[in-house]
Amino acid sequence: MQALLKLSNGIDAFTRWTGKRLAWLILLAVVISALNAIIRKTLDTSSNSWLELQWVLFSIVFLLCASWTLLDNEHIRIDIFNSMMPKRARNIIDIIGHIFFLIPLTVVMIVTGIPFFLRSLQINEQSGNAGGLPQWPAKALIMIGFALLLVQGISELIKRIAIMRGMIPDPHESQVSALEAEVEHLVEAIEKK
């Protein structure tokens, strides 16, 4: 298990490093959007490639940073119900969710994404818009993003099992404690009414 935990730590470090760097592309997308709007309004000219570049930059952040979101436990869940459950139940739900939902979904998306990308690359698929960008780089993001999510999902599964065995502390315990306090406050407020 120690070897798996080392692997998990390496995956986590790579995910965090990648996410922190790619998140800056949002700023670049905003700058491009602003400049494109200014040029379009002042010079009455524009290019579809600049609009599509904004979409690609956002797609890079959305798809390639999803694994970072999972690492930091910021993914969508019903926190009110989750925080009311015992720790063991939360860990079991996470393990079941990763094994039966997250990992199979990522595998399906990778397997179906590869031919989707390869067909686009093979024909050098271009945008349907005049002056648009090639489509195959954006389609590559699907399989890359889900591959990163798969690897991070495996890391999270390793950590959940180690937490349940008492081998490591829960890195998200402070988040859960804060949520539990918030839920208790909400329940008290509802009961007073």
Q: Distance between CA atoms of 103 and 113, rounded to whole angstroms?
A: 15
152 has pLDDT over 70: yes
101-134 per-position pLDDT tens digit: 999 999 999 999 999 999 999 999 999 888 889 9
176 has pLDDT over 60: no
Q: Which of 121, 96, 40, 26 is nearest to 68 (CA)?
A: 26
177-186 per-position pLDDT tens digit: 565 667 677 7
Q: What is the pLDDT of residue 181?
A: 65
Element (H, E) at 150: helix 136-164
Mean pLDDT of 30-46: 91
DSSP 140: H
Mean pLDDT of 45-56: 89
91-107 per-position pLDDT tens digit: 898 999 999 999 999 99
pLDDT band at 3 (very low <50, low <70, confident <90, very high): very high
Q: What is the pLDDT of residue 178?
A: 61
Domain parsing of the chain, residue ranges: 2-192
Rama region for 169: left / alpha / beta (φ>0; ψ in -120 to 50; rest): beta
Q: What is the pLDDT of residue 129?
A: 87
149 has pLDDT over 80: yes
Mean pLDDT of 27-42: 93
Q: Is the pTM of this model over 0.95?
A: no
